[in-house]
Amino acid sequence: MTTQEQTQANNAGSIKEFGTVSMSYGKGKIFCLPIIGQIEGHIVLPSQNKTTKYEHVLPQLVAIEEDPDTAGLLVLLNTVGGDVEAGLAIAELIRSMSKPTVSLVLGGGHSIGVPIAVAAQYSLITETATMTIHPIRLAGTVLGVPQTYEYLEKMQDRVIKFVVNNSSIPEPVFRELMFRTGELARDIGTILVGQEAVNVGLIDGIGGLHEAVEKLKQMANGGQDSQDGSRCRPESPTEHGPVGQMPNAPSDQRPPGLE
């Protein structure tokens, strides 16, 4: 078997097992990592659920960081959210990588998918993709005691701090979007569609696969967003319009949130 055939066989196996693929780029590779379905934490979800398992993603991120042939990481998001700590663990690893990283929100990057989207050095969203911002919820039996609410508040502050520190959205704006009433039928929060996520400073720009790959190549070649850790963000969250001005979105289609 030739080297090319071996590479194709390895890629086919990676796609089948984990949905990942490495694309040749010059002398290196661009690694494509999908974050899809529901992000699974310490509890195994039912087999009929589409899930992203953090125990699969974390070792892959370590391998990407240590692989000298990998030039950059492209993260594709189409997720409804899921386990908070598992999502934050993935986001923290992506944020702390020295190699260029670009995220692309396709379809949806909801709930805990928001921190993962902004963890990359540069983030893009398609015009039709949506992002749901809402408070943390607990699943299962919950004790109605002060300690429970203090724990929820601390967890929520962790998410807010991470998003604010890794995007251009001001904290008061993000909190206002998170606790907005009247837009979601069964919850409080906000749905941002495409350009709206860019308007408030949450995402860097509108684009698709071509723009994401070209941006990653630019960064890998020593462009503005190279490994020095600099982040290309809009000069102002109001660059494309007033902060926090979003039309009412259909709320009955709200995906599951943080669990």
Residue 123 domain-assigned (yes or no): yes
Residue 115 domain-assigned (yes or no): yes
**Which residues of the chain are modeled with pLDDT < 70?**
1-27, 138-144, 223-259
Q: Output the pLDDT for position 174.
A: 92
Q: Output the pLDDT for position 2.
A: 54
Residue 2 domain-assigned (yes or no): no
- Alpha-carbon distance of 180 to 190, in angstroms, equals 6
What is the number of structural domains in the chain? 1
Residue 238 domain-assigned (yes or no): no
Residue 74 domain-assigned (yes or no): yes
Range of 77's domain?
26-39+49-136+155-220
Query: Which residues touch 166 (CB under 8 Å, ≥6 apart)?
Result: 95, 115, 118, 119, 231
Residue 214 domain-assigned (yes or no): yes
Q: Which amino acid makes up residue 14? A: S
**CATH number, domain with residue 59:** 3.90.226.10
Q: Output the pLDDT for position 126.
A: 94
Q: pTM for this structure?
A: 0.75
- Alpha-carbon distance of 157 to 109, in angstroms, equals 19
Total length of the chain:
259
Residue 86 domain-assigned (yes or no): yes
CB contact at 8 A, 252 and 185: yes
- Alpha-carbon distance of 33 to 20, in angstroms, equals 5
Count the Cβ atoms, other than its own, within 10 Å of residue 161: 12
Q: Output the pLDDT for position 91.
A: 93
- Alpha-carbon distance of 55 to 88, in angstroms, equals 13
Enzyme catalytic residues? 111, 134
Write out the two tokens for 258.
């943080």
Residue 3 domain-assigned (yes or no): no
- Alpha-carbon distance of 109 to 77, in angstroms, equals 6
CB contact at 8 A, 31 and 22: yes
